[in-house]
Structure 1
């Protein structure tokens, strides 16, 4: 069975849509999911815990390269305690490479800021589907340069991680 993942506009009813003005980069991908009582954060944790190995390899390469220009090592998406239940997380808690910035059953926004950019990722449950939105605000030339390389990879990474959700 083919996994249908499609690019869509950021859902206007999502909390992350409020953060779109002035963004230098944004995208959103959706896929159908079976009805579930899992929270948006639970879905994110499920996907992050099963990140494809090639994504972790790219993150390790990214971390080595950016350390040369003084940016922080983010680690990997799945760098969190998998035994900690989703309902134990609160706004401000670190989950892998991100911190939780907004949290409801239907949507979680995770993000990270550095001197070069601010990135936020939303996982939003929408009537039988899940949408993953990303918004980036760059702060300087380094951020814009960084995104020249990251944006094309990002467009491959998000659908690949969503396929992990579909295969479980």
Structure 2
């Protein structure tokens, strides 16, 4: 299966695209849908269930650093999928926590997860759609800065985000694929 990750515009039909007014940062990465019959929440769980260790290490460093300026400790990006008590995708509802985020929009083709802190609001979308007749998944991030701290944070995190998200997605998709062979 092709695991090419491509930077693309946000899907125009997506709910996340409706949330970009006034955004200070937005990006989107698209790849072939590894499981076209699954929901967006199932896809989110599958991808985040295989978060590479280096990404969780970076989150740990981030969590320690931002404590110095009073920001939230978010925990690990990974959504535990192999645990016996892992919550099935169908049992999630708006307001529930999934990893470091809370669900703020949930439908079969798209899930939007968010976190709001004093410096910024971040929204992450997993949107399943068709592109040229092929089933695709787009993972989009939209950020609204609340203040100067948010702008400073994104000046550092934004460029790093654009470099590591495609790599993380590629490694997560590869790990998920090989785990089910």
Q: Normalized against structure 1, the TM-score is what? A: 0.94
TM alignment of 1:9-158, pairs within 5 A: 9-80=9-80, 82=83, 83-127=86-130, 128-158=135-165
Decide whether aligned partners of structure 1 residues 55 and 35 sit closer, same or farther in structure 2, where only a CA change above 3 A counts.
closer
For 1:77 and 1:35, locate their aligned partners in 2 and report how far apart those are by CA, in whole Å.
21
Q: Secondary structure at the match of 1:115?
A: coil
In structure 1, stretches of 5+ residues that fail to align are: none
DSSP 3-state at the match of 1:123: strand
SS at match of 2:69: coil
Compute the RMSD of aligned alpha carbons.
1.6
Work out the number of aligned pairs and report it.
168
Find the aligned partners of 1:14 and 1:34 in 2 and give their Cα distance.
Answer: 19
Q: Which region of structure 1 is more displaced relative to structure 2, 27-36 or 68-77?
A: 27-36
Tell me if the contact between 2:112 and 2:126 (Cα under 8 Å) persists in the aligned partners: yes
1:9-40 Cα shifts (integer Å, max 9, x gaps): 11110001110010000000101124521100
- Paired with 1:20 and 1:137, the residues of 2 have a C-alpha distance of 8
Stretches of structure 2 that go unaligned for 5 or more consecutive residues are none
TM-score when normalising by structure 2: 0.88
